[in-house]
Structure 1
Amino acid sequence: MLCTNCRRQTATDGDGRCVACLSTKSQPYAAPSHGQEPGLTPVVRAPAPLVLLSPVGLGRAVMVLLGVVALADVAVIAAVLDVRALFEPLADGDFPAITQAEAERADSFMLLTSTLQLTAYVATAVVFVIWFHRVRTIAGVLAPDLLTRGPGWTIGAWFIPVANLWIPRGIAAEVWTASRSSPYASATSEPRTPVNLWWAGFLVTWFATRFADRRYSDAQEPDEIVSATGLLVGAAAVDIAAAAFAIHFVHRLTAMQRARAEERAAAWRTGQPPAGATPTGQETPVPPMPQ
């Protein structure tokens, strides 16, 4: 009598299995599919559980880097005022004795602070885009029907000329709405004010900085240099305010998403309908996000 499991060797025990099948404790035999060895039991793997990466750590990193940007702006203001102090008497018609050492020191200080500012900008931009992509991914689970652009737009939108002046803000607004405690209710609670302040600060800083840099680069006469330094100080001050708005936006959105994820995960663990269910009733369980 052949083994009832593998159908290849002689059965030796009461239920009709051979020694090999007894030693491996194999499951009941299933017919082999195309290309499969006879006598091997197919392995059916369960789908991997949904895992969401927390935006909390990235959000904190973005906020710290925005603080570094603000400090770099303060250093730039100090360097610009140092240059202004050298040229202001010349613009007023005086001719003080400016030594070569003073001029080189002011120029070196300006170069150093500008380099620090640029480095902080680049580092912040990279980490911010990573965070932005993550919160968009989470929003796609919280309320997918409220989003019109995929996660890839959180990266690509910044590189589209002209359109990058409004597409990222539109994505952020949708992510904000999807992350609210009641995304399908009226916007009277949790309004988009942090989104609008962040984006307004970003645009004003972008234009002000480029205008001031151009005026400073083109300045030749002492009065032109003094006027350009005033623009540079103003642009740096606007950038400090924009960094504060961005910190507030990142903090609020990260906290909203974490609260929504924890609420929905708890609801699914207890078997209760998740808060903020979609009108169609189709919900995706959201696991708790790690710290």
Structure 2
Amino acid sequence: MKKAQFLTPVVTAFDSEGNLDHQANKNIYDFLINGGVDGLVIMGSTGEFSYIEDAQKKALIDLAVSYVNHRTKVYIGTACMTVEDTVQLSNYAIDAGADGVMIISPYYFYLSDESVELYFDQVAPRIKGDIYLYNYPARTGHDLSPEVTLNLLRKHKNIKGYKDTVTEMGHTRKLIQTVQNEFPDFIIYSGFDENFAHNVLSGGNGCIGGLSNIYPEVFSAWVNALNEKDLKKAADIQSIVDKMMELYDFGPTFIPFTKQAMVLRGIRLEGYCQKPLIQPNEELTESINMLLKELDARIVQVIPDYKGVLA
């Protein structure tokens, strides 16, 4: 079994006018690093990358890389709609000191396997650092298949990993089985929190999951349990995370609920999202609060040093 890892696709803190809230973003990075996650992914889907203008993206890259300052790994989502823009932003992130970039294929139009492969063939040779492929077919409308991935690995040595944001573990399992014999060091993460243990037990590396923004201590403990082969504790935390997944059911876009849950935990951010994402109303906020209270009661039984709501 490979050593398990859990990375956080970090939310981006904004003020009420849509500007980056630099201090709040720093607060978030400290909270996650102190919570023990294995790395930060800046400007993934949870980070609202598709709503951030170019100047803000570069400012956020500079802020994250400099403030984290090697306390953990920092990866940057650099996907743009064109090859040229993706290459430019990716190299900006690498030059700033990021440990790698995560790239989703262009969205809106359905792309054939040949088109997806062509896109990464054009992007990968021009990027000066490590690349992590990002598959999210529910948002792009097409799949980055295991077969295309294998083709890309044979051509581009700087493609180091893959995030598979699909609910079906069968897709991730097939990816693992397709590439692992030829590329045993290729890193494969799931994109939904509840699939973390299944991923690792199937030969993958873990997860990049949004709920760790709220409970980094829980996911760090889950990683330790698997790495220490404490399957009883791993199963207990799996049950907690299964309950935690209810947060995704509060509405079609989970980012505002994630931020509100972080506010309720005491993390110093305002909870604003970029428009048109809407902050939860009072009724939804109370529902989130009730879920957090139920989770706190369950977490402390499994992780005795869990501190609950922050001071």
TM range (shorter): under 0.3
| Larger relative strand fraction | 2
| Larger relative helix fraction | 1
- Specify the structure having the higher radius of gyration (Cα): 1
TM-score (norm 1): 0.21
